[in-house]
Amino acid sequence: MKAVTWHGKRDVRVDTVPDPRIESPTDAVIRITSTGVCGSDLHLYEVLGPFMTEGDVLGHEPMGVVEEVGAEVTSLKPGDRVVVPFNISCGHCFMCDRGLQSQCETTQVTEQGKGASLFGYTKLYGQVPGGQAEYLRVPQAQYGPIKVPDGPPDDRFVYLSDVLPTAWQAVEYAEIPAGGSVVVFGLGPIGQMCARVALHKGAGQVIGIDLVPERLARAEAHGATVIDTRDHDDIGDAVRALTAGRGADSVIDAVGMEAHGAPAARLTQNLVALLPQAAGALITEKAGIDRLSVLYAAIDAVRRGGTISLSGVYGGMIDPMPMMELFDKQIRLHMGQANVRRWIDEIVPLLSGSEDPLGVDDFATHRLPLQDAPKAYEMFQKKQHGAQKILLQP
Ligand SMILES: NC(=O)c1ccc[n+]([C@@H]2O[C@H](COP(=O)([O-])OP(=O)(O)OC[C@H]3O[C@@H](n4cnc5c(N)ncnc54)[C@H](O)[C@@H]3O)[C@@H](O)[C@H]2O)c1
Ligand SMILES: [Zn+2]
Ligand SMILES: [Zn+2]
């Protein structure tokens, strides 16, 4: 089959690889019809290279049709239409029972000291072949895949794999008071959806922050007040000016470790990329070279006693945190990979009617054949041609 594979920094290709098959009675194999490119894939494309192996199959936002199931998968049958969550979870362990599917104890990558396995996401997360491919082996298929009805286009449902539950969790973790204010840093797919979900759930004021004009315009069209970072030296001041001088009740960081505007860290990351793989991996993980500029801005922009919810991915081990500021302002922090399955039952009703309250039907700006994946990655990373969300179609 054809699959999108990692070959090095900013080098992804479409290769022919062996077809996946059932390896365990809890597996299923699906034929993929649509599969998203995510901001998390851009981390693999750029800074997380030291954790990748040449030939790794990328992708974690797939949906498609069940081809074959293992003997213990009784809830699915060939022909079912399914969306596959990006984390692989069992549904019956201590963590899954508590709605912490991204920490699933059955699929945890214990030799790396990490949480649940993820599709297409480095050896830290199990090196499981991903979903930007014609076919996908889905482990723990007795629990993971979400059955969706035939009929509507894939766009209706495909974001259940990641964007929707990630945004939903980010908003839940932000604990926005009823009618309160929330700042969303980063208006990529995750931040856009956070802004929409926050308004849907009753936030009084959503302030979206980015530096890409069409992303700002899109958030504004969906009811957010926007701040263009290029127009302000001090983002905290700009937020306070909109929030009675106090700062926002809640702040969501939907940028993560590749924030624009931190040249020193950028330099370090480029240097690490030149090191031999093992040394590079060590430095990326242990030396904490994240670009923390957005996290710092979030700490500044939140009001005293407020909450910061991090959905942007961070990967450093010894990042310097301004503890005096966090302690003095009495800030709550809540973060992590989305526990996809936990939120699905709350989200599905919003995708079921003829209304489209979260605007998923026209959320993708580009739909490209799988073959064009290298172009898609480049376009999405460089934010060319108005690319905001790209779906690949095998
Ligand atoms: N927690 C999870 O489960 C989970 C799931 C999916 C994605 N993510 C993470 O969420 C983040 C966003 O993903 P995405 O798909 O929206 O990606 P994206 O790269 O399209 O979005 C990032 C946005 O941040 C903006 N940005 C960069 N620097 C900024 C700054 N200094 N101030 C304000 N905005 C800035 C960029 O212009 C871009 O629009 C990534 O870190 C991704 O890894 C986390
Ligand atoms: Zn994703
Ligand atoms: Zn589990």
Q: Which CATH superfamily is 2-162+339-393 part of?
A: Medium-chain alcohol dehydrogenases, catalytic domain (3.90.180.10)
**Cβ–ligand 1 contact at 162 (below 6 Å):** yes
At 382, is the pLDDT very low, low, confident or very high (cuts 50, 70, 90)? very high
CA of 304 to the centre of ligand 2 (A): 32
The encoded tokens of residue 283 equal 């430095």
How much is the pLDDT for 270?
60
The encoded tokens of residue 81 equal 């239409």
**Cβ–ligand 1 contact at 342 (below 6 Å):** no
Q: If you average pLDDT over residues 200-216, what whole number do you get?
A: 98
Supply the residue whose CA is at minimum distance from atom 10 of ligand 1.
Answer: 312
Q: Has residue 279 got a pLDDT over 80?
A: no
Ordered by start, the domain boundaries in the chain are 2-162+339-393, 164-335
Residue 180's nearest CA partner among 115, 249, 90 is: 249
CA of 40 to the centre of ligand 1 (A): 8
CA of 253 to the centre of ligand 1 (A): 8
23-82 tens-digit pLDDT:
999 999 999 999 999 999 999 999 899 899 999 999 999 999 999 999 999 999 999 999
Cβ–Cβ < 8 Å for 1, 67: no
Q: Which is the closest atom of ligand 1 to the Cα of 260?
A: 28
- Closest ligand to C-alpha of residue 263 is 1
How much is the pLDDT for 253?
98
Residue 33's nearest CA partner among 76, 74, 64, 66 is: 64
- Residue by residue, DSSP assigns 338-357 as --HHHHHHHHTHHHHSS--T
CA gap 338, 375 in Å, rounded: 28
More confident position, 292 or 95: 95
In 105-259, beta strands by DSSP E: 135-138, 146-147, 181-185, 205-210, 225-228, 248-253
- Amino acid letter at 152? P
Q: Has residue 319 got a pLDDT over 80?
A: no
| Inter-axis angle of helices 189-200 and 163-174, nearest 10 | 60
How much is the pLDDT for 344?
98
Q: Has residue 188 got a pLDDT over 80?
A: yes
At 264, is the pLDDT very low, low, confident or very high (cuts 50, 70, 90)? very low
End-to-end Cα separation, the chain, in angstroms: 10
Residue 240's nearest CA partner among 227, 221, 259 is: 227
297: left (phi over 0), alpha (psi -120 to 50) or beta: alpha
153-167 tens-digit pLDDT:
999 999 999 999 999
Cβ–Cβ < 8 Å for 375, 368: yes
Give the range among 188-192, 201-205, 226-230, 288-292 with minimum mean pLDDT. 288-292
Report the share of the chain in percent with pLDDT over 70: 93
Q: Has residue 280 got a pLDDT over 80?
A: no
**Cβ–ligand 1 contact at 185 (below 6 Å):** yes
How much is the pLDDT for 291?
74
Please tell me what DSSP assigns to residue 77.
Answer: -
Q: What is the pLDDT of the chain when averaged over all its residues?
A: 93
CA gap 187, 254 in Å, rounded: 7
**Cβ–ligand 1 contact at 188 (below 6 Å):** yes
115-166 tens-digit pLDDT:
999 999 999 999 999 999 999 999 999 999 999 999 999 999 999 999 999 9
**Cβ–ligand 1 contact at 60 (below 6 Å):** no
Which residues crowd ion ligand 3, with CB under 5 Å?
Answer: 89-90, 93, 96, 104, 106
Supply the residue whose CA is at minimum distance from atom 41 of ligand 1.
Answer: 312
Cβ–Cβ < 8 Å for 60, 128: no
- pTM given for the model: 0.95
Identify the architecture of domain 164-335 in CATH. 3-Layer(aba) Sandwich (3.40)
Cα–Cα distances in Å, from 148 out to 66, 91, 101, 357?
Answer: 12, 19, 20, 18
Residue 180's nearest CA partner among 201, 209, 164 is: 201
How much is the pLDDT for 217?
98
CA of 97 to the centre of ligand 3 (A): 7
CA of 354 to the centre of ligand 2 (A): 26
Q: If you average pLDDT over residues 203-232, what whole number do you get?
A: 97
How much is the pLDDT for 289?
47
Give the range among 70-84, 123-137, 274-288, 330-344 with minimum mean pLDDT. 274-288
**Cβ–ligand 1 contact at 191 (below 6 Å):** yes
Residue 60's nearest CA partner among 153, 157, 129 is: 129
**Cβ–ligand 1 contact at 189 (below 6 Å):** yes
